[in-house]
Copies of this chain bind each other. A is one copy, B any other.
Amino acid sequence: MAHIDLLLTGGDLLTVNKPFDRFSPGALAIHDGVIEAVGPAREITDTYTADEVVDCQGCAIIPGLVNGHTHAPMTLLRGLADDLRLDVWLMGYMMPVEREFVRPDFCWLGAQLACAEMFRSGVTCYGDMYYYEEAVADATAEAGMRAVCAQSILKFPTPDSASFDAGLRLAQDFVTRWVGHDLILPAVGPHAAYTATAELLRGSTQLARAYDVPIHIHIAETEEEVSQQVETHQRPVVSWLEDQGLFEAPVTAHHCVHLDDDQLRVLRHHRVGITHNPSSNLKLASGFAPVTRMLALGIPVSVGTDGAASNNDLDMFEEMRLAALLAKGVSDDPTALPARQALAMATRLGAEALHVAHQTGSLEVGKQADVAVVDLERIHLTPRFEHGSDGGDSLASALVYSGKSTDVRHVLCNGRWVMRDRELLTLDVEELRRRAAKVAGRIDTFLAAREENVLSKLVAIGGVDRVETFEVQVRIRFDDAAVVEEVLEREHLTPVRTSRRHQYDTYFLFGERDTSRLRYREDEVLAETVDGQIENVVYRLTLIGETKHREFPRSILLSRSRFDAPATHSRRFYREYFQPEDEIRVHKHRRRYHVRYGGTDFALNLDRVTRPPLPGVYLEITSRTWSAQDAERKAQLMAELLDLFGVATREIVRAEYVELAADQLGSPAPNP
């Protein structure tokens, strides 16, 4: 009789080794954190005595689950913003909040919270990718959890690095410190092809190869990303990454939703592991990953929860069930991805995908003792059948299709108890919950402040400067455009230059909430040729506050636009982000004359409003200004111009186009 540390016996043991051996009742002998023996209970208990013997009757003994992909610290952002489109979610909420809050202590706390939730769902190993990965690794190691921790690197400034060079240095420091740790495998995380440069990827690969650690990268998560990539590099994304030499390191690729067989074969050739994240892909409507194809090609595919900000939990029981169910629905084949395979993806194949299969993923002699003991005596697991190949199918089916994370009773990670009878032994849950609530409170305050008005919400998404501009302006209606041309000629107001354009304006109105208007303008600049082809399209976003800053004689107005910048997102993005109460569209054809008068530049816009159709034409005389004194002088010159055009005061239109449009449409008059 050999004496060992620990004996788990009497349970329904699924090894999830390749032949899917089941021992019922089975036993597991563990010594020094390593699996010493696995087999029929009688055989093992006849061979070993142990310091601790745990009776697992009524339970399944299975490998600890492997969560292939998450961003552990984002657990602190769980439920922050849901039911939004990816860009609104990411650029409207995640990134601004991350910019403001992500620091090492945030990452440490989020990672501990994530470990607590994962242990409680039977997870003993996970793949992570975030900023300040040092803090994630430290929090994870302290929890006693196994993880592959990838330090994110992007070509943009991130919460932890001002540049990707700094990111690479940070990653190298991190890898150096953690390589060889018994729980943490450090990794290099170039975030994705579309957020990387060729240099960034080559630097990452070099680093990964130098320390023999894996690379984690998001690949082909959305269709848009894939088509943009092809446009930029004239190569499919996987091929382009291959060109950069990325796959010379061991790689784990996240998502891979939009890849065809050819691209998958490239991944297989390079022994790349894939993580499949069904909840996240559904929630963000990223598409349906071709999981059955990946598996058929022999690629190790892991199941991942992705971050709790897009899931919104880290429940691997749910995730493996969803992987199994979704594959059937998508492939129109109910025999696709059977329970056994789903369980293997959440364990052995997951470990392979993360390049840690030598340590974990199945209950086999020589592997580390990462084990979940699952209570089968639950009402939702009643009854159970023994029907099917040796009953192994039935047990896998019970775990995958009916099991819940809350059925996990005990968890052993690296041979150490981290949960007994659902009590976490290495983490202080109440303390974590208290601290997390505090962080959430601060984030709530931050978001509430930025929601106060449209301007602060606009500033929050960043990427644009806050510049205030002033304009002196007057608007006159004529029945006919010819009048204007005539006057220009008669008065020798030769335009310095002219332009023609179609302007498609969308005004977002906010009712009581905010008196500002946000104008999204698509400016189609037309060529000065007979056919007037579109030469250029310019998108601008303008926040218009109190329009009438000051009024001069003859209704000449000094107006202020508080913010004016290129519109880097779509109109749809701004609509979903700002959630206006109303929206009015104004389309017009504009002929613009740049003239000099009294030594001063003026723009004369001759506008025909086509949506909603307004009769006549409008002449807008406008000039930018930077001081009150300059404004006064320009207003004086404008009054002279009005005289040249023979404008009677009654022809002066004080209303803005959006107001005229609202009037025409019978909408309530927009603010202010």
Residue A84 at the B interface, CB < 8 A? yes
CB pair B312 A401 closer than 8 Å: yes
A436 contacts across to B, CB distance below 8 A: 382-383
A591 contacts across to B, CB distance below 8 A: none
Residue A466 at the B interface, CB < 8 A? no
What is the 8 Å Cβ interface bit string for chain A, positions 53-88, against chain B (1 contact, 0 not)? 000000000000000000000001011111111100
With A285-B331, A334-B285 in contact, do A379 and B116 touch (Cβ < 8 Å)? yes
A81 contacts across to B, CB distance below 8 A: 387
Instruction: State which of A203-211, A314-322, A522-530, A619-627 sits at the interface with chain B.
Output: A314-322
What is the 8 Å Cβ interface bit string for chain A, positions 420-444, against chain B (1 contact, 0 not)? 0000000001001100110110011
CB pair B315 A404 closer than 8 Å: yes
CB pair A84 B385 closer than 8 Å: no
- Shortest CB–CB separation between residue A73 and chain B, in angstroms? 12
A117 contacts across to B, CB distance below 8 A: 379-380
Contact with A338, one of B83, B311, B314, B329 (Cβ below 8 angstroms): B83
**In the bound complex, what is the Cα–Cα distance between A382 and B429 (angstroms)?**
10
CB pair B444 A283 closer than 8 Å: no
With A79-B401, A325-B279, A377-B433 in contact, do A439 and B383 touch (Cβ < 8 Å)? yes
CB pair B313 A387 closer than 8 Å: no
With A325-B283, A328-B283 in contact, do A79 and B384 touch (Cβ < 8 Å)? yes
**In the bound complex, what is the Cα–Cα distance between A640 and B526 (angstroms)?**
99
Number of interface residues of A (CB under 8 A): 74
**In the bound complex, what is the Cα–Cα distance between A532 and B394 (angstroms)?**
51
Contact with A113, one of B86, B382, B386, B394 (Cβ below 8 angstroms): B382
Q: Which residue of B lies closest to A383 (CB)?
A: B440
CB pair B377 A329 closer than 8 Å: no
Q: Which residue of B lies closest to A288 (CB)?
A: B329
Residue A333 at the B interface, CB < 8 A? yes
CB pair B281 A329 closer than 8 Å: yes
Contact with A433, one of B82, B85, B379 (Cβ below 8 angstroms): B379
- Shortest CB–CB separation between residue A1 and chain B, in angstroms? 35
Contact with A78, one of B83, B113, B382 (Cβ below 8 angstroms): B382
Contact with A386, one of B76, B283, B325, B444 (Cβ below 8 angstroms): B444
Most chain B Cβ neighbours within 10 Å, of A117, A329, A439, A447? A329
Contact with A86, one of B334, B384, B386, B401 (Cβ below 8 angstroms): B334
Residue A398 at the B interface, CB < 8 A? yes
Residue A448 at the B interface, CB < 8 A? yes
Most chain B Cβ neighbours within 10 Å, of A283, A383, A447? A383
Contact with A82, one of B82, B397, B406 (Cβ below 8 angstroms): B397
Contact with A385, one of B284, B308, B444 (Cβ below 8 angstroms): B444
List 6 additional A-B contacts (Cβ < 8 Å) besides A84-B335, A308-B402, A311-B401.
Answer: A79-B397, A80-B387, A283-B328, A283-B401, A285-B329, A285-B332
- Ranked nearest first, the 10 interchain pairs of A and B with the lowest CB-CB distance are A383-B440, A83-B338, A282-B329, A282-B325, A312-B401, A285-B334, A383-B436, A406-B406, A312-B402, A82-B397
A-B contact pairs, 23 of them (CB 8 A): A82-B338, A82-B393, A83-B335, A83-B339, A83-B397, A89-B334, A120-B379, A279-B325, A282-B325, A283-B334, A284-B334, A285-B336, A312-B401, A312-B402, A313-B380, A315-B404, A318-B318, A382-B436, A383-B433, A383-B440, A386-B444, A387-B443, A387-B444
Question: Which A residues lie at the B interface, using CB under 8 A?
Answer: 76, 78-86, 89, 113, 116-117, 120, 279, 281-285, 287-288, 308, 311-315, 318, 321-322, 325-326, 328-329, 331-336, 338-339, 377, 379-380, 382-387, 393-394, 397-398, 401-402, 404-406, 429, 432-433, 436-437, 439-440, 443-444, 447-448, 576
